[in-house]
Chain A
Amino acid sequence: MKGRAILTGEHFMHGDHACTEGAIAAGCRFFAGYPITPSTEIAERMAQRLPEVGGVFIQMEDEIASILAIIGASAAGTRAMSATSGPGFSLMMENIGLAVMMEIPIVIVDVQRGSPSTGLPTLPGQADVMQARWGSHGDYAIAAYAPWSPQEMFDLTVLAFNVADRFRIPVMVMSDEVVGHMVERVVIPPEEQIPRWERKRPTVPPENGFRPFLAEDDDLVPPLAHAGEGYRVHFTGLTHDERGYPDMSAETHHRLVTRLVEKVRRNADAMIRYEGYGLEDAKIVVISYGCTARSARRAIGQARAAGIPAGLLRLISLWPFPEKPLRELARQAEAFIVAEMNLGQMICEVERYVAQPVIGVNHAGGAMIPPAPILEAIEEVATRGARIGRRKASAG
């Protein structure tokens, strides 16, 4: 008897397992990975679950091989994923660019730990968020999501596959050790309620001069022909023309790279996700994501109880960055506080869009930022006015 692909129902589930179930529910049938704390439970559960549903699990020799294997599997038409943490994520960087250039959809989960280097293998971090956006060489754009709960490990993994397929880009799920190892209620909906965005596929038969990198639609996404379908398509990481043929001209290069970046920009509304708490009348806006947003939510609750008009903008998509809500909040807010478990990364993005003072609540990682330092920052702004600077959060 085969296992069920979609475990519809209510569960008390581990974050990494919820991510695995999200992937399988989304139709992921290929996983290639290399064990690394704190993401290993994803690989282990994949090894158990994929054979049950007719999928393929393979443990590769390293993370470079892992990302290549998922790009290869996806090129053949299968939804494919890998999961890793900082050191492995670094090894994958060159080939994120390959997936971007070939426009082959893949999903990578980074369960972030304390970094750089080997850092704190078993403890949390959020310091790979800029790497997710900029880690591979060259100009490109991707999407990345930051789950704050096991439920979102499920939901955002499903979304990641849909965004990857719909727009032919690599999508990252930027989790962290706290969320990855947290056990919480996870509701898995029935199959028909799991959204599915399909890949755009060729509509002309192979003989009719299919041009695989010609994006005729406004969304700038060309249809994707899979290996073995008779289209005899050439895919290369070299700069290529609409036929997929290498073309070493500055003009073609500019046209291609601009389209790849513009493709994400133009479709950003479909990818962007965020959530607000108490923002309607907020004068002090806290911005946070992932596990840190859990502390931030508590901190703004405590501030509200003390009569301070604080609110939380929780970034669910880190990339594309939710700039619209931020620009709107800039009309009402007096100051912004960015709480993140790194020494100031997404704060740089916030600073790009607002003129108000932006204060960071930061910690290099190793333990969750508790609500207290975020509350202190809110109180300080409320009583003494905003003072630009980054604060050290003492993690509990």
Chain B
Amino acid sequence: MAHALVAEKHPLDDLIRTDRMPHIWCPGCGIGIVMRCYAQAILESGIPVEQHVIVSGIGCAARTPGYMNLDSYHTTHGRPIPFATGLKLVKPELMVTVFSGDGDLAAIGGNHLIHAARRNVDIKVICINNFNYGMTGGQVGPTTPLGAKTTTTPYGNPENPFNFPYLLAAAGAVFVSRWTTIHARQVKEDILYTFHKPGFTFIEVLAPCPVGFGKSNNIDEGVEEMWLYRRRCVLAGRVPDETPWEALQVDLREERPIVVGRFVDEERPVYRPVRLEDKPSEHRG
């Protein structure tokens, strides 16, 4: 009689606070997929687990640090980037990842986002973009497409959304990519890649929020949105010559391509605090 092989422990178990399960996320939510990619990338990174720090703001995506068995900081709405900046600058040996939502990072925290990119602080940002505020029940956000319905735009959104990759490239991020939750492998690969890429890096992951953006815009199931990604995603050519920045604007409600891929991968001096160790200092006092 053959014996069943029973795995006593999943390789990612040590990275997850299993005592915190079940999580709060809805069925069909995309956030968990990205959390898993992050955990896998940590495992493969060769960087000791103790050196990984995860920081978030507030929102559904921002709950991720609570489930990761790492030094984890769940800060206030919009503020993970400046928190991570302070932490990283005093302990540069740590690998500091900001894991948060599009509203958190681009609305209330938008100013911190562009300034950290401009400075090129060495922090890794993973942004879950579900085109709305999930946690508070599906309100309009800075990524909600023009005309889309949400609970606070019942007649359609009168505002233009941000085009994340374009914004981050302009602000100075040294690495910018976009994937969706069907691109688990690419997301993991990019997280891993950015661990070894000094500077401010930004990975946008489009993710279903079936109870929020989905419900208001006739994408009722998470899996339906996954199929939609699968049908429409196209890999970007070189921006802007082959794929213009404008083509990166996303509207799930329209039958047009969703452009994914790596858009920026550059070298730029990383922000380092001024040190006088090697320079002669003017005598004082």
Nearest B-chain residue to A238, judged by Cβ = B74
Does residue A75 face the partner (Cβ distance < 8 Å to B)?
A: yes
The CA-CA distance from A66 to B86 in the complex, in Å, is 9
CB-based A-B contact count at 8 angstroms: 155
Shortest CB distance B246–A (Å): 28
Chain A positions 196 through 221: 1 when the CB is less than 8 Å from some CB of chain B, otherwise 0: 00000000000000000000000000
Q: Given contacts A68-B82, A71-B83, A232-B50, are A76 and B275 in contact (CB under 8 A)?
A: no
Q: Contact between A234 and B66 (Cβ–Cβ < 8 Å)?
A: yes
The CA-CA distance from A73 to B87 in the complex, in Å, is 4
Task: Pick the contact of B66: A74, A227, A246 (CB < 8 A).
Answer: A246
Does residue B40 face the partner (Cβ distance < 8 Å to A)?
A: no
Does residue A389 face the partner (Cβ distance < 8 Å to B)?
A: no
Nearest A-chain residue to B48, judged by Cβ = A230
Inter-chain contacts of A3 with B (CB < 8 A): 276, 281, 283-284
Main secondary structure of the interface of A (DSSP, over half): mixed
Shortest CB distance B102–A (Å): 19
Inter-chain contacts of B280 with A (CB < 8 A): 1
Does residue A2 face the partner (Cβ distance < 8 Å to B)?
A: yes
Does residue B90 face the partner (Cβ distance < 8 Å to A)?
A: yes
The CA-CA distance from A235 to B54 in the complex, in Å, is 11
- The number of chain A residues with a CB under 8 A from chain B is 53
Which of A57-65, A350-358, A374-382 touches B? A57-65
Q: Contact between B274 and A237 (Cβ–Cβ < 8 Å)?
A: no
Chain B positions 211 through 231: 1 when the CB is less than 8 Å from some CB of chain A, otherwise 0: 000000000000000000000
Does residue A72 face the partner (Cβ distance < 8 Å to B)?
A: yes
Q: Contact between B71 and A232 (Cβ–Cβ < 8 Å)?
A: yes
Q: Contact between A4 and B74 (Cβ–Cβ < 8 Å)?
A: no
Q: Contact between B20 and A245 (Cβ–Cβ < 8 Å)?
A: yes
Does residue A70 face the partner (Cβ distance < 8 Å to B)?
A: yes
Does residue B241 face the partner (Cβ distance < 8 Å to A)?
A: no
Inter-chain contacts of A228 with B (CB < 8 A): 50-51, 53, 71, 91, 93-94
Shortest CB distance A283–B (Å): 47
The CA-CA distance from A230 to B71 in the complex, in Å, is 8
The CA-CA distance from A80 to B86 in the complex, in Å, is 9
Q: Contact between B72 and A235 (Cβ–Cβ < 8 Å)?
A: yes
Chain A positions 10 through 29: 1 when the CB is less than 8 Å from some CB of chain B, otherwise 0: 01000000000000000001
Which of A48-56, A126-134, A158-166, A169-177 touches B? A48-56
Does residue B89 face the partner (Cβ distance < 8 Å to A)?
A: yes
Does residue B242 face the partner (Cβ distance < 8 Å to A)?
A: no
Task: Pick the contact of A227: B71, B112, B275, B283 (CB < 8 A).
Answer: B71
The CA-CA distance from A9 to B112 in the complex, in Å, is 41
Q: Contact between A52 and B71 (Cβ–Cβ < 8 Å)?
A: no
Does residue B8 face the partner (Cβ distance < 8 Å to A)?
A: no
Q: Given contacts A98-B76, A227-B94, are A54 and B82 in contact (CB under 8 A)?
A: no
Q: Contact between A1 and B76 (Cβ–Cβ < 8 Å)?
A: no
Does residue B277 face the partner (Cβ distance < 8 Å to A)?
A: yes
Q: Contact between A245 and B66 (Cβ–Cβ < 8 Å)?
A: yes
Inter-chain contacts of B53 with A (CB < 8 A): 227-228
Q: Given contacts A51-B275, A245-B66, are A4 and B89 in contact (CB under 8 A)?
A: no
Task: Pick the contact of A30: B20, B49, B86, B94 (CB < 8 A).
Answer: B86
Q: Contact between B83 and A52 (Cβ–Cβ < 8 Å)?
A: no
Which of chain A's residues 238-293 have a Cβ closer than 8 Å to chain B? 238, 245-246
* A/B interface sample: 21 pairs, CB < 8 A: A1-B280, A2-B277, A2-B281, A4-B284, A4-B285, A65-B111, A71-B83, A71-B86, A72-B83, A73-B86, A74-B86, A75-B73, A75-B83, A102-B73, A229-B71, A232-B50, A233-B72, A234-B66, A237-B74, A237-B75, A246-B74
Apart from A227-B94, A235-B73, what are 18 other A-B pairs with CB-CB below 8 Å?
A: A2-B276, A4-B284, A4-B285, A52-B276, A68-B76, A70-B86, A71-B75, A75-B86, A80-B90, A98-B79, A227-B71, A228-B53, A232-B49, A232-B70, A234-B66, A235-B72, A237-B74, A245-B17
